[in-house]
Amino acid sequence: MQRQHGRGKLRLALVLGASTVAALGIGYGGFSAWQVTTENDGNAFTTGAVHHINTVGATVCDDSSVLPATVCGVIYSTASGAYQKPGDSLTGTVTINIPASSTLSSTMTLGPAAATPYTNNPVTSTLCGSLLLQVTDGEGGATAGNVYGGAAGASLSAFTTPVSIKTSGGSATWVIGNSDAFTFKVTYPNVVTGNPAVEMGSTCTAKFLFTQSS
């Protein structure tokens, strides 16, 4: 009986000791009250931007003013009250430059705009197919039609795939301060390949798109 009573006291002491440790918040893994930390602040992910300015004559068109697309100046057009005939040509120039707001290096293409970039009016006309387009850039030593059409020009309505365009220095990569001028020449050849009977008194309208990517 004495031995069992002694064991009961021992169990009671162990229970009381465990309760005291728990109450004091002392863990069995250690008794340290110190803690230190380090923190890494200022982590950030910042995106850049691509912008270009399209200038035709006095019409300056900044793509950043209206997104995703801005309709800019007319490159060429028959003067009001005037009319073209076989052998006539119209020309116009677009200047593209990269402003300081364009913080990323980029590439540029020139191509037809929209799903139906060329429209004959009346629709029975074949004028867009007969007109010859020639696009030449402002690189030093550039040959006529080096962007599209070659020396003789090529069918306007056949210009259906965008082509890469370069800076005036001949680089395919555009950065802040780069620019180039693109001269468009549209000619109605003396030898009409379409149907002259349906091309008289008609109009061909065209839409071109400069696209900047990064």
How confident is the model over 6-38, as pLDDT tens digits?
A: 555 545 444 445 454 454 445 555 567 899 999
Strand, helix or coil for residue 3: helix
Rounded Cα distance, 210 and 158, in Å: 17
Range of the domain at 155: 53-213
Q: Which among 185, 188, 202, 186 is positioned nearest to 87, based on CA atoms?
A: 188
Q: Does residue 57 form part of some domain? A: yes
* 3-class SS of residue 71: coil
Residue 142 to residue 87: CA distance in whole angstroms: 24
Q: Is residue 31 part of a domain?
A: no
User: Is 14 part of any domain?
Assistant: no
How many residues are listed for the chain in this entry? 214
Could you tell me if residue 120 is inside a domain? yes
Flag whether 7 is in a domain.
no
Q: Are 28 and 40 in contact (CB under 8 A)?
A: no
Does residue 95 contact residue 210 with C-beta atoms inside 8 Å?
no
Integer Cα distance of 199 and 163 in angstroms: 29
Give CA–CA dist 203/128, Å, rounded.
8
- State the amino acid at position 133 in one-letter form: L
Angle made by CA atoms 116, 128, 137, in degrees to the nearest 5: 85
Going 113 to 114 to 120 to 125, the CA torsion angle's sign is: positive
Q: How many domains does the chain fold into? A: 1
Residue 196's pLDDT is what?
81
Whether 184 is in a domain gets the answer yes
Closest alpha carbon to 128 in 95, 88, 156, 90: 156
Give the Cβ contact number of residue 182 at 10 Å. 21
Q: Which stretches in the chain have pLDDT values below 70? A: 1-31, 64-69, 194
Flag whether 40 is in a domain.
Answer: no
Question: Has residue 18 been placed in a domain?
Answer: no
What is the predicted pLDDT for the residue at 30?
A: 58
